[in-house]
């Protein structure tokens, strides 16, 4: 790889910075990068459940080598909420490890904000800005909705990028890899985040592949908001391992289909009907589930407010548990505005720092006897089947109705 004088100085300086750049060079050489790009922000995934003792020791080595993040570096959602340990049967060992990891991250200058919706609450990069983000849905959102540039960065890779302020120039940092090569025409009304998640899931299944970029054209009356696009990004990443998409006339690099494709011919085009969407989602009626979860991604303040409104005059039904996850910034505002107090009074469990699927849902299923699960998140439904649940994906309002009773 070709290094700039500043990068060569990093390499010659020794310590954690040199070690970080050497690791990044190996990644860049693997992917055929000729050099690095400077980045303005890093966001990494890493908690004790994922990286274990070896990961903590790796952080300790970075601290001992005087590693320090030179650009703003944030952390993704984690696997524990320290405030609900007993309530949700969480691991004491993981909680203890988490406290140690937070101290190490503070020493490295990383911010343990523990959120997968930093783009809604912490930092929103501009179009064309190079960043190094982890978490699949976060990356797809950055590339598609914001027009920023990032690849899926593994936990160590994104943290190293925070230390060097660089990331290898390959993949979605390059113009030629951002063009749409597939087109999906959606012929269905999209009025809820669950609809947008369903679109992401179906498009992801159809054109699965990290390098595959799809352009999605929706009816004129289906203009998405930031939470709709958040669910679309999370689902298309979860079902398709896709790191970018375009919504024609909505996302910044796709004001027209021609601009989305950058003039390249399409490899394939298809349609997505209302019937296909309906088949993916559960109908409104049905028996109350064991657990209803609003998570994956964490909820914005707007989503919390909407659930609060839908819960007015209702409470969680006997035999059903309802869980809502968000980050602490949203959580504090939800407290101040009264949403959290009303939701808890209605029987809703509110947890912070984590996305519920990270909290060992299989052990919770065994501990509490849960089996059926309802959610408005296509991403969550895709994940929890592996943990022994029978998930159903419903609109936000249907999730509330099926899981509650009138007061």
Q: Are 248 and 147 in contact (CB under 8 A)?
A: no
Q: List Cα–Cα distances, 82 to 152, 270, 289, in angstroms.
A: 28, 46, 26
Which one is the CATH code of 291-406: 1.10.287.3510, 3.30.499.10, 3.50.50.60, 3.40.50.150?
Answer: 3.30.499.10
pLDDT tens-place string over residues 25-41: 999 999 999 999 999 99
pLDDT tens-place string over residues 195-230: 999 999 999 999 999 999 999 999 988 889 999 999
Torsion, CA 3, CA 43, CA 205, CA 185, rounded to 10: -90
Q: State the Cα–Cα distance between residues 206 and 215, nearest whole angstrom.
A: 13
Q: Of the given ranges (9-23, 84-98, 131-145), which has the lowest mean pLDDT? A: 84-98
Query: Dihedral sign, CA of 328, 330, 335, 341?
Result: negative
Of 185, 196, 171, 175, nearest to 248 (Cα)?
185
pTM score:
0.96
Q: State the Cα–Cα distance between residues 170 and 157, nearest whole angstrom.
A: 14
Q: Are 193 and 231 in contact (CB under 8 A)?
A: yes
User: Phi first, then psi: what are they for 207, rounded to 5°?
Assistant: -125, 40
pLDDT tens-place string over residues 338-356: 999 999 999 999 999 999 9
pLDDT tens-place string over residues 95-136: 999 999 999 999 999 999 999 999 999 999 999 999 999 999
Mean pLDDT of 282-301: 92
Domain boundaries, the chain: 5-175, 179-280, 291-406
Mean pLDDT of 274-295: 92
Q: Which stretches of 65-187 are DSSP H helices?
A: 92-108, 118-121, 136-141, 155-164
Task: Give all strands of the β-sheet with 73-75 in edge-to-edge order.
Answer: 73-75, 42-44, 132-133
CATH code given to domain 5-175: 3.30.499.10
CATH code given to domain 179-280: 3.40.1060
Average pLDDT over the chain reads 96
The per-residue pLDDT for 394 is 97
What is the CA 221 to chain-centroid distance, rounded? Answer: 26
Two domains, one topology: 5-175 and 291-406: yes
Query: Residue 284: pLDDT above 80?
Result: no
Contacts of 332 (CB under 8 A, 6+ apart): none
Q: Give me 5's structure tokens.
A: 């004088």
């Amino acid at each position: 790889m070709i290094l700039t004088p500043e990068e060569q100085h990093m390499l010659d300086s020794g310590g954690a910075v040199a070690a970080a750049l050497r690791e990044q060079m190996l990644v860049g050489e693997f992917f055929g990068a000729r050099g690095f790009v400077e980045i303005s922000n890093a966001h990494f995934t890493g908690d004790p459940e994922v990286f274990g003792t070896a990961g903590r020791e790796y952080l300790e080595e970075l601290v001992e080598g005087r590693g320090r993040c030179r650009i703003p570096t944030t952390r993704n959602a984690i696997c524990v909420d320290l405030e609900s340990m007993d309530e949700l049967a969480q691991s004491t060992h993981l909680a203890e490890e988490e406290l140690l990891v937070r101290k190490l991250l503070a020493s490295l200058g990383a911010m343990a904000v523990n959120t997968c919706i930093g783009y809604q609450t912490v930092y929103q990069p501009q179009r064309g800005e190079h960043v190094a983000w982890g978490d699949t849905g976060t990356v797809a959102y950055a590339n598609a909705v914001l027009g920023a540039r990032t690849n899926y960065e593994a936990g160590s890779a994104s943290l190293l990028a925070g230390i060097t302020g660089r990331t290898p120039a390959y993949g979605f940092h390059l113009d030629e890899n951002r063009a749409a090569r597939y087109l999906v025409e959606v012929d269905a009304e999209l009025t809820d985040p669950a609809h947008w998640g369903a679109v992401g899931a179906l498009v992801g299944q159809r054109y699965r592949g990290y390098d595959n970029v799809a352009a999605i054209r929706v009816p004129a009356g289906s203009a998405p908001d930031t939470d709709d696009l958040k669910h679309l990004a999370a689902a298309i990443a979860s079902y398709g391992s896709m790191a970018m998409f375009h919504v024609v006339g909505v996302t910044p690099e796709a004001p027209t289909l021609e601009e989305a494709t950058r003039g390249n011919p399409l490899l394939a085009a298809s349609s997505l009907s209302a019937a296909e969407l309906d088949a993916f989602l559960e109908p409104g009626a049905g028996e109350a589930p064991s657990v209803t979860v609003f998570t994956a991604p964490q909820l914005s303040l707007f989503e919390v407010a909407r659930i609060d409104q839908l819960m007015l005059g209702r409470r969680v039904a006997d035999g059903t548990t309802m869980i809502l996850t968000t980050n602490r910034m949203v959580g504090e505002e939800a407290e101040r505005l009264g949403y959290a107090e009303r939701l808890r009074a209605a029987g809703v469990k509110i947890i912070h720092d984590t996305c519920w699927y990270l909290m060992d849902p299989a052990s919770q299923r065994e501990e509490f006897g849960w089996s059926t699960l309802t959610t408005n998140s296509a991403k969550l439904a895709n994940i929890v089947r592996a943990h022994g649940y029978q998930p159903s994906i419903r609109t936000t309002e249907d999730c509330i109705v099926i899981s509650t009773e009138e007061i």
